[in-house]
Structure 1
């Protein structure tokens, strides 16, 4: 268990760049380096996280830990990956805008965004080679990327995945399993987490009026239950929750900080919870953080075992082939927007990315050293730009 926590804790300190980059870091660590999962198994987890509400990359990390050591492994993975971000958000909440407004801090963050370009590109290329081997899967990949680049919405994302699954069922299914698989899948279904999800969703608003702590948990639980598409989508929901309780400047400072620190963007809730309970800020931060993460994990635990069993059914396996190809397209679209467009602004930025690609692919520089190099590059960028 501690080994799982240790690995995810290390990743939590260096995983900059948002959900798409996190998926790349996870694949590099657990598929390529440690061999905990095959690419097919990992892609299934990524695809499942796209269908469920909640923090997508954190659900992927939780599922990896769950696969490795059951529920305890999933919890250790979540704690390890999320704790660094929570610590940093608490520090930023205490320091307020003094640090986030620093030009040096912003330059370092920019350098780490350039590293995210490399990580996402490497993940997209690796998954493309594994899941886009036929003309149809290549078409699904490119079609998905085009659709999501032109129509950037959660509805578009869900729609293209559904279409890819339908195409896979019709044209990519393989009859390689016995007919009794559906029954075993039904028996493995985890009803308790699913029931808990809906009970909490329905009852928390009713009992929240009796306690400010319960109300805070309820508000963030509702937000975590309704968010499809990652951390950026949670912004308007949290803004509605906060209302006039937090100034616009403070809210946007927390949002900027959430994008600057490594780990899941959902730890934005940590900052808001700290601000919303001035009488007990640390308790408020913990309540809000748990509230926004718990619903996605309950859903994941409820369907994960069943999902793996269903993957052995021919029609479902065909759907997964189609969805896997579409997930590659999803990563390609994310590589451009928001990863590339928010990071590569000048020719010098692209030069750093190209040098980083050389270090990563040819010299096999470990990710920790890549983080140090790109943080230094961002810090020195203004001086280098003045010399050119």
Structure 2
């Protein structure tokens, strides 16, 4: 640890304001800003974080951000990273009702489309760079290609965890030349006893909140609904939607129309998709005020994943020197590259690129990152302005 919580907060606030494109794209932003530019972690250490967070339930991109802060500046750094990265999207979604009319016209629609092109450029750059680093040989490139193909054929976001597990098995079997991860340890301030205690807290809250919940939208029921959703979802932000819909729509707490409107807004803003919980908490009639309910929903949505990654990091060190762990990590990292490649095609390119002009805009955005080495903020400005300009004339 050689940083401060204030430094972590500043860096992740900028990422929280500019990280468009969803959880897969966030991994590309992190690599560009924190591994390549600031050297907070090495490529090998970042690969380990990806492997850990892909295995755990919860929002992988936010867990990775929290882990960066934890490794950089301890507990205060982890909390600073989480708050800074999540706060912008949570505030935007909590205030979505007031900005909805502004996003319904031609200019608003064009701006949202420009943000999709940002994701095209960012993810393409991430695929290229991560493939170079994490798939240096034919065996790992083969795992990546097969992972991408299997993901596209399955057409299910929930299938991602199976791909990651298959990558680990393939790594054990075929990646025998992978270097040991012990050469790039992830140094955390707390040890295995604290990790086991945090895991016990995770399980205890899962049981206690379930016992305290009722069919009515009380604060305890809201906490249980969002904590359970955050604790049981694998595969990223979009996979949590069925769980949330069951918890808040089927119970009558939120109408289906309001639920879908909020989900649509979550696609147009930076930061984690799980911040959708702040929107839902704002409109759930708990009787305790929209602000407090939104805060309870937001915290309980993210808390399980943060507890799990806090528990896993010190336990991970106990196996990081094991050659079998190194091979499994190599396979997982290659599979993650494949998942990233599949996401680049579907849904990012399929939903973002609708014409040759769109492709040209995305290619220039990719050039800003890969050729001219500009900040992702320049890509956001370019893609949004290029998309909005035709609507102005």
TM-score scaled by structure 1?
Answer: 0.92
Q: 1:348 aligns with which of 357, 360, 365?
A: 357
Distance 1:107 1:223 in 2: 33
- 1:262 is matched with which residue? 270
Change (3 A) 1:278 1:213: closer
1:173/1:316 contact within 8 Å kept = no
Distance 1:373 1:160 in 2: 35
1:144/1:330 contact within 8 Å kept = yes
Q: 1:237-273: CA deviations, max 9, x gaps?
A: 1111112222222111101011111100111110010
Q: 1:204 offset after TM fit, Å? A: 0.7
Q: Which runs of 5+ in 1 are unaligned?
A: 180-184
- Secondary structure of 1:260's counterpart equals coil
Change (3 A) 1:240 1:155: closer
- 1:7 is matched with which residue? 11
1:100/1:253 contact within 8 Å kept = no
Change (3 A) 1:194 1:187: closer
- 1:197 is matched with which residue? 202
Deviates more, 1:42-51 or 1:209-218: 209-218
Change (3 A) 1:100 1:135: same
Q: Which runs of 5+ in 2 are unaligned?
A: 183-187
1:49/1:60 contact within 8 Å kept = yes
- Secondary structure of 1:190's counterpart equals helix
Q: 1:345-385: CA deviations, max 9, x gaps?
A: 1111001012222333333332222222222112114467x
- 1:72-83 to structure 2, matched below 5 A, reads 72-83=76-87
- 1:332 is matched with which residue? 341
- Secondary structure of 2:234's counterpart equals coil
Distance 2:232 2:22 in 1: 19
1:225/1:296 contact within 8 Å kept = yes
Aligned residues: 378
- 1:227 is matched with which residue? 233
2:192/2:314 contact within 8 Å kept = no
1:100/1:257 contact within 8 Å kept = no
Name the structure where helix makes up a greater proportion of residues.
1
- Does structure 1 residue 297 correspond to structure 2 residue 311? no
Change (3 A) 1:84 1:155: closer
Q: 1:128 offset after TM fit, Å? A: 0.6
- 2:32 is matched with which residue? 28
Q: 2:281 aligns with which of 259, 273, 288?
A: 273
- 2:316 is matched with which residue? 307
Deviates more, 1:111-120 or 1:159-168: 159-168
- 1:160-239 to structure 2, matched below 5 A, reads 160-173=163-176, 187=192, 190-209=195-214, 212-239=218-245
Distance 2:247 2:105 in 1: 29
Q: 1:265-299: CA deviations, max 9, x gaps?
A: 11111001000036400111111001110001111
1:189/1:306 contact within 8 Å kept = no
Q: 1:74-122: CA deviations, max 9, x gaps?
A: 11100010011011112213x1642342332221111111011111111
Distance 1:8 1:350 in 2: 29
Distance 2:228 2:71 in 1: 27
Distance 1:360 1:162 in 2: 31
